Amino acid sequence: MANTDGAASLDDLRIFLAVCEAGGFRKAARSLGLSVSTVSETVTRLEARLGVPLLGRTTRSVMPTEVGRQLAGRVAPVLSEARAALDEAASSQAAVRGRLRLNVPAAVMLDILPPLIDRYMAAHPQVRVEIVVEDRLVDITAADCDAGIRYGEHLEQDMIAIPIGPRRQETALAASPAYLERRGAPAHPRELLGHDCIRIRLSGAALPPWEFERGGEVLLVDPPAVLTIGSAGAMAAIAHAIAGRGVLYMFRNWIDPHLRSGALVPLLPDWWQRYDGPRLYFSRRLMPKPLRAFVDIVAQGRGAAGSALPL
């Protein structure tokens, strides 16, 4: 029978949400800076108070029950608003205080986001910054994040999206002189089906086809992968291409220095596709001061050069 004499504390609910997000007690404990036993005992105490199981536990995973999912969905926005209110109060003076937590893809971690974060931390040293790197589109409110960065995905109606970094980017195709001497250069994107190719896989996703465009014609090619590397290993993929392991399809600005040096040779430049750059998105209902200050930094740097990994 549920014991509702004492309401669950915000700390208990915060720990429960952390377990849901992390998918396990150990990972949640690390993110919270608590012991595993403390996290487990907190959730058990919350379940006893409510009289229902919130998490399904197996030897391999921890997943929220249907009741747990409903509770998490309702509690996450409340905690986000509570934290925003606290940050607003803490920043009521001239200095901006509180926490800024961003959910971003690996694509922006090379040269789009770092200089913005550096300027932000220099301007607001009393803000704690946390960056969660993952490629899938998430509910930033449920994930206890203030904002996210993504390329081109459909966003909920209550979200605001603004450009961050370059407004337009371009994919490029390249290979090393040694590879081209050994295998020759493709004359058309379809000829890539007969080449060794280095592919990039986004976490938890199938390999996306390579997309090309010329004169209004759009062509999708799914070439064989002699080497597949996760999105966090983009620099390793470039190094393998320079070593002659295969043809590489990559955001142009990431490989421009190697094109200029001759370590990589551009292939089929008439087919390189241009597309919109990344956007910073956040709820129009929640705008704590640390996030507002970050949006100001983004606005100041809008239009600056940048690059990323193709989705």
What's the CATH code of the domain at 45?
A: 1.10.10.10
Residue 174, domain member (yes or no): yes
Q: What is the pLDDT of residue 125?
A: 95
Strand partners, 279: 150, 163
Other Cβ atoms within 10 Å of 53 Cβ, number:
15
Q: Give yes or no: residues 270 and 172 share one domain.
A: yes
Residue 293, domain member (yes or no): yes
Residue 128, domain member (yes or no): yes
C-alpha to C-alpha distance for 184 and 176, rounded to whole angstroms: 11
* Number of domains into which the chain is organized: 3
Q: Give yes or no: residues 259 and 201 share one domain.
A: yes
Full 3-state SS string of the chain: CCCCCCCCCHHHHHHHHHHHHHCCHHHHHHHHCCCHHHHHHHHHHHHHHHCCCCEEECCCCEEECHHHHHHHHHHHHHHHHHHHHHHHHHCCCCCCCEEEEEEECHHHCCCCHHHHHHHHHHHCCCEEEEEEECCCCCCCCCCCCCEEEECCCCCCCCEEEEECCCCEEEEEEEECHHHHHHHCCCCCHHHHHHCCEEEEECCCCCCCCEEEEECCEEEEECCCEEEEEEHHHHHHHHHHHHCCCCEEEEEHHHHHHHHHHCCCEECCHHHCCEEECCEEEEECCCCCHHHHHHHHHHHHHCCCCCCCCCC
Closest Cα to residue 178, out of 247, 235, 250, 251? 247
Strand partners, 211: 220
Q: What is the pLDDT of residue 266?
A: 98
Residue 207, domain member (yes or no): yes
SS3 content of the chain, % helix, strand, coil (to 5): 40, 25, 35
Q: Give yes or no: residues 289 and 141 share one domain.
A: yes
Q: What is the CATH number of the domain that holds 115?
A: 3.40.190.10
Residue 28, domain member (yes or no): yes
Note whether 53 and 69 are within 8 A (CB): no
Q: Give yes or no: residues 144 and 236 share one domain.
A: no
pLDDT tens for the chain, 311 residues: list them: 455 455 567 788 888 888 888 888 888 888 788 888 888 898 888 888 888 888 888 767 788 888 888 888 888 877 777 776 666 665 555 688 899 999 998 888 888 899 999 999 999 999 999 999 888 777 887 788 899 998 876 666 678 889 998 888 899 999 999 999 999 999 999 999 999 999 998 766 778 899 999 998 999 999 999 999 988 888 999 999 999 999 999 989 889 999 999 999 999 999 999 988 899 999 877 788 999 999 999 988 764 444 444 43
Note whether 306 and 166 are within 8 A (CB): yes
Q: What is the CATH number of the domain that holds 178?
A: 3.40.190.290
Domain that holds residue 293: 79-158+283-301
Q: Give yes or no: residues 94 and 14 share one domain.
A: no
Q: Give yes or no: residues 262 and 172 share one domain.
A: yes
Residue 308, domain member (yes or no): no
Structure-token match 């750059």, residue found: 277
Q: Give yes or no: residues 109 and 176 share one domain.
A: no
Q: Give yes or no: residues 190 and 249 share one domain.
A: yes
Q: Give yes or no: residues 288 and 153 share one domain.
A: yes
Q: What is the pLDDT of residue 7?
A: 58
Residue 114, domain member (yes or no): yes
Q: What is the pLDDT of residue 93?
A: 58
pTM confidence score? 0.64
Residue 4, domain member (yes or no): no
Closest Cα to residue 304, out of 169, 195, 103, 211? 169
